[in-house]
Chain A
């Protein structure tokens, strides 16, 4: 695609792991998204989309009105979700801008990069750049990118509150796990239990507990034999008495 926005928009979303909107981020939006964001933000606060502070935006739409004054160009853009007024200050030194202007006529699609300006109840976009869309696949691209960035940010916003409980959730799982036969020899299974969460205590695991966790798959005699083998191989050592062993791998 003939535009650098994709990389910028997506990369900002991915890199802003601190959850703070970065002032240099460029967010692809629809007019509807902009409208929703403005309705949700209060005046003192910056513009927020999905809780991310948004400064620079990129829009794409059809020009339905264009007017030209000595100091600025004013376009009304319709992207199918709504209409918005886009103002661009005239830079007399920019020769490219005036040649582009000939292509920015009513009925053509334009790509806008700019920031949102709120003046009273009036909201408009002040553009850094307005350029005609040459390849209309960019239309598809822009809207899909807006969807992508939005869902990316929404997922991140959802993930934040859950972070505190993330560690707690799996704690109950290992306790029931040994009930399922993981397969393997008595030695392997006993070793797995000693290396499991129960083995982290200072005194290690008592042989009775290992037998119990193996769920009757092996007799106590078999387990003691396996433990003796593991001790001889240097995988386990006895701790407080001859019934408690701890893994050397922890």
Chain B
């Protein structure tokens, strides 16, 4: 068991707290040019994700990216999970706030 390197679940706003750190971000695919993807975050912000070279492109509308935050509104993917075409972003956004706020002790 190892909890020394957590990947916090963030929304667009919370990304700012983790610049240079590993995070999990769920986004809605808003278009890709092959090397980057523009996604809409659970709190309705726009983030540009630098896709990992050589990994298969995200295939569904909602994607969970694991990666490093480059700055506000930008991150670099290390891996991703396809979250399907039906995902409730509102509730997930509430979870990101809870996990980085009141209930932080349960997550990191």
A146 at the interface (CB under 8 A from B): yes
Interface size class of A (residues with CB under 8 A): 20 to 34
Residues 61-81 of chain B: 1 if any A CB is under 8 Å from the residue's CB, otherwise 0? 010100000000000000101
B106 with A30: CB separation less than 8 A = yes
Task: Say if the beta carbon of A53 comes within 8 Å of chain B.
Answer: no
Report the Cα distance A62→B106, complex, angstroms.
Answer: 18
For chain B residues 83-108, which have a beta carbon within 8 Å of chain A? 83-84, 86-88, 91-92, 94-95, 98-99, 103, 105-108
Choose the segment among A80-88, A159-167, A171-179 that binds chain B (4+ C-beta atoms closer than 8 Å).
A80-88
Q: Tell whether A80 pairs with B7 under 8 Å between CB atoms, given A107-B81, A136-B62.
A: yes
Interchain CB contact (< 8 A) of B6 among A62, A80, A139, A144: A80
The reply to whether the CB of A109 lies closer than 8 angstroms to some CB of chain B is yes
B106 x A150 contact (CB < 8 A) = yes
Residue of A nearest to B63 (CB): A136
Does residue A218 face the partner (Cβ distance < 8 Å to B)? Answer: no
Question: Is residue B9 contacting chain A, with contact meaning CB distance below 8 A?
Answer: yes
Residue picked from A84, A107, A143, A146, most chain B C-beta under 10 Å: A143
Residue in B9, B79, B88 whose beta carbon sits within 8 Å of that of A80 in the complex: B9
Does A108 have its Cβ within 8 Å of any Cβ on chain B?
yes
Q: Check A62 against B103 for contact (C-beta < 8 Å).
A: no
- B33 proximal to A (CB < 8 A): no
B12 CB, nearest partner CB in chain A, Å: 17
| A137 located at the interface, meaning its Cβ lies under 8 Å from any Cβ of chain B in the complex | yes
Binds B, one of A7-15, A19-27, A32-40, A89-97: A32-40
* Neighbouring A residues of B103 by C-beta, 8 Å: 147, 150-151
- Indicate whether A78 reaches chain B with its CB closer than 8 angstroms: yes
- Tell me the complex Cα distance, A110–B103, Å: 23
Task: Report the 10 A-B pairs with minimum CB-CB distance, sorted nearest first.
Answer: A82-B3, A136-B83, A147-B103, A35-B3, A140-B92, A80-B7, A123-B1, A84-B1, A83-B2, A81-B107
CB within 8 Å of B: which residues of A?
30-36, 38, 62, 78, 80-85, 107-109, 123-124, 135-137, 139-140, 143-144, 146-147, 150-151
* Chain B residues within CB distance 8 Å of chain A: 1-9, 24, 62, 64, 79, 81, 83-84, 86-88, 91-92, 94-95, 98-99, 103, 105-108
